[in-house]
Structure 1
Amino acid sequence: MSKGRIALIVSAVVLAVLMALLPKVIINKDKGGLATDGVAANRDQPAHDPNHPGHEDHAEEPAAPKDAHAAASPAQLKKIAELRVKFNQESNPQAKVKVADDLAKEYIALARHDSAGYYYEQAAQVRPGEKSFQKAADQYFEAFTFAATQERSQALGNKAQVLYEQVLKNNPANLDAKTNLAMTFISSSNPMKGITLLREVIATDPKNEKALFNLGVLSMQSNQYDKAVDRFRELLVVNPAHVDGTFYLGVALAETGKKQEAQKAFLRVKELSKEPEVQASVDSYLEKLKSAN
């Protein structure tokens, strides 16, 4: 599962409500995990990340730590403040890269991924290359997946796009970067570009878990449940222990009227994950399927 210990927490017990909760953007950052959906784990992100200023064009640094991280410990705030002073005063480009890297790590520890992206981007400008651009892109992408507003999502998605395109210029075969780039387009004004990129990933690597998963959920969003079933089944051939893929297979099967198969999928989820939230969620769906018989 993904970094955030994704729990399939669903407040409703009917499949129709699950469909209403499906996201406008489904992103699977790691093999086996969701990033943004109605059942994803809460990252305790604020509705508006106060690190926002300056991230669209980098005309200025992120907000000062005392304003940005009310939940941070005094030691963390002190370290960030010291590193920011050092970063601003450092004249040696290579030394400044090291400070930027340290700052980015501090912000990652606080789940302030846009700020981490900002500093990784500063480092990439000094040391451009596939890996440095991807470090920055991945952090903006992480922030993008938790954006609370469409405006915020667009701004962070645009930043990630520019950087992922740099990654792909350096290495067109980087399928992870291409998949994440695709998902930034799905919620943009050009969603078909995202679909095209995902299909390119599948054409290159038919067993790519992230692409299969995202195509499956996107099929659900467009009410193409038969296609979703096919995608999730392909995914489970590649990774039979994919918890989220198994869960959504159950949902898609139920939507196509295959209740017995859906029940088997949900029972499999219970075998794969012993997290209480997952167990409770699946029990709710199993009870609904039972009452519908």
Structure 2
Amino acid sequence: MIGGLFVLPKGIVKPKEGKAELTQDAARTANRDGGGPATNGSKADASSGPVSAEAGPTTSPEGPTAAAPHTAATPVQRQELNRLLGQFTKAGTSAQKAEAATLLARRYENVQRFDSAGYYYEQVAAAQPGPQALQQAADAYFQAFSFASSDERIKLLGGKARDLYTKVLAKSPDNLDAKTNLGMTYMASDNPVKGVTLLREVLAADPKNERALYDLGILAVQSNQYDKAVERFQQLVKVNPKNVNAQFYLGVTSARTGAKEQARAAFLTAKSLSADPALAASVEEELAKLK
């Protein structure tokens, strides 16, 4: 396994031991969501209905709690959320409910409560049906899925995103972003073959699709198919030579296949594309292993 070979800086995805974790990493977000103290990390905070902002993640002088380390609403933000929740509850017409739900969803996105944002975007879609609202709800749940740390939350939030993306694609079958994300939710389900099939369909429609190339590269790493991973990352850097993640992973996977010069070139390119000192340190560590 690659996990443990290097310490990746923020913004660079690191392969992990668990398949679900690696799938989430391929979703390009951190794996940190605990669901808030009110749920003990077991469910989406607002997936079953509106909740007061006071029931959300608490903070301490040190910052967010361990239960939800990426979420931290200030007292002012919590007050605003509760005010908007009151407006949503009292809304008498579909238009008023959709307006209040949209504002709530955006505010929850601002404090990285993506599951709650997804719930309120769902309310927008219910009040004013349309593919845009469905997509917003699906994207928010996908973000929450990507942050989820427990198997229960991965299953719950991945399922919510999957159901909504399926509805989006029923209305807009050519939506490749939705199909790519749908594929990644299947990778953390009981039917990962369906996920791979969807990602390949995306590439068949758009051979230069960066998301699909990246995700398939990560999935090849997951299954220890480093030759295939190299091919995907080579394709990706041809499409976008400035993709730092792709260059770094091309270096990692090339090293695993014994192509040391190719690995060295990719690592140096990745380093040249970013001013992040953590990335530079990771590159130097990997280069030292090639000598």
State the Cα RMSD in Å.
Answer: 2.2
Secondary structure, counterpart of 1:35 in structure 2: coil
Instruction: Work out which of the residue numbers 35, 43, 60 in structure 1 matches 2:49.
Output: 60
Secondary structure, counterpart of 2:290 in structure 1: helix
Residue deviations 1:238-281, cap 9 Å, x none? 10111101111111101101112111110111001111111111
For 1:87 and 1:49, locate their aligned partners in 2 and report how far apart those are by CA, in whole Å.
22
Q: What's the counterpart of residue 241 of structure 2?
A: 240
For 2:273 and 2:12, locate their aligned partners in 1 and report how far apart those are by CA, in whole Å.
12
Q: What's the counterpart of residue 94 of structure 1?
A: 95
Residue deviations 1:204-246, cap 9 Å, x none? 1111000001111111111111111111111111101111011
Relative to structure 1, the CA distance from residue 241 to residue 21 in structure 2 (aligned partners, 3 Å threshold; closer, same or farther) is: farther
Query: How is 1:116-131 mapped onto 2 (pairs within 5 angstroms)?
Result: 116-131=117-132
Query: How is 1:1-293 mapped onto 2 (pairs within 5 angstroms)?
Result: 6-8=10-12, 20=17, 23-26=21-24, 34-36=28-30, 45-50=32-37, 55=44, 58-61=47-50, 63-70=51-58, 71-290=72-291
Contact 1:25–1:36 (8 Å) recurs in 2 = no
Relative to structure 1, the CA distance from residue 201 to residue 51 in structure 2 (aligned partners, 3 Å threshold; closer, same or farther) is: farther
Secondary structure, counterpart of 2:224 in structure 1: coil
Contact 2:30–2:147 (8 Å) recurs in 1 = yes
Query: Cα distance, 1:126 vs. partner?
Result: 1.3
**Match for 2:122: what amino acid?**
E
For 1:224 and 1:232, locate their aligned partners in 2 and report how far apart those are by CA, in whole Å.
13
For 1:110 and 1:201, locate their aligned partners in 2 and report how far apart those are by CA, in whole Å.
32
**Match for 1:286: what amino acid?**
L
Q: TM-score by structure 1 length? A: 0.85
Contact 1:212–1:231 (8 Å) recurs in 2 = yes
Query: Cα distance, 1:46 vs. partner?
Result: 4.8
Q: What's the counterpart of residue 13 of structure 1?
A: none
Contact 1:207–1:238 (8 Å) recurs in 2 = yes
Q: Percent identity?
A: 44
Query: Cα distance, 1:94 vs. partner?
Result: 0.6
**Match for 1:47: what amino acid?**
G
Relative to structure 1, the CA distance from residue 57 to residue 196 in structure 2 (aligned partners, 3 Å threshold; closer, same or farther) is: farther
Gaps of 5+ in 1: 11-17, 38-44
Relative to structure 1, the CA distance from residue 251 to residue 19 in structure 2 (aligned partners, 3 Å threshold; closer, same or farther) is: farther
For 1:205 and 1:6, locate their aligned partners in 2 and report how far apart those are by CA, in whole Å.
29
Q: What's the counterpart of residue 68 of structure 2?
A: none
Query: Cα distance, 1:58 vs. partner?
Result: 4.5
The number of aligned residues is: 267
Relative to structure 1, the CA distance from residue 249 to residue 130 in structure 2 (aligned partners, 3 Å threshold; closer, same or farther) is: same
**Match for 2:49: what amino acid?**
E
Relative to structure 1, the CA distance from residue 120 to residue 254 in structure 2 (aligned partners, 3 Å threshold; closer, same or farther) is: same
Q: What's the counterpart of residue 41 of structure 1?
A: none
Residue deviations 1:20-74, cap 9 Å, x none? 4884315556xxxx3257xxxxxxx45333475874995432x421120323211
Contact 1:51–1:112 (8 Å) recurs in 2 = no
Comparing 69-78 and 164-173, the one that deviates more: 69-78
For 2:16 and 2:146, locate their aligned partners in 1 and report how far apart those are by CA, in whole Å.
19
Relative to structure 1, the CA distance from residue 26 to residue 246 in structure 2 (aligned partners, 3 Å threshold; closer, same or farther) is: farther
For 2:49 and 2:227, locate their aligned partners in 1 and report how far apart those are by CA, in whole Å.
48
Relative to structure 1, the CA distance from residue 27 to residue 129 in structure 2 (aligned partners, 3 Å threshold; closer, same or farther) is: farther
For 2:206 and 2:24, locate their aligned partners in 1 and report how far apart those are by CA, in whole Å.
20
Secondary structure, counterpart of 1:24 in structure 2: helix
Gaps of 5+ in 2: 1-8, 59-71
For 1:6 and 1:174, locate their aligned partners in 2 and report how far apart those are by CA, in whole Å.
29
Contact 1:232–1:248 (8 Å) recurs in 2 = yes
For 1:179 and 1:56, locate their aligned partners in 2 and report how far apart those are by CA, in whole Å.
26
Contact 1:185–1:193 (8 Å) recurs in 2 = yes
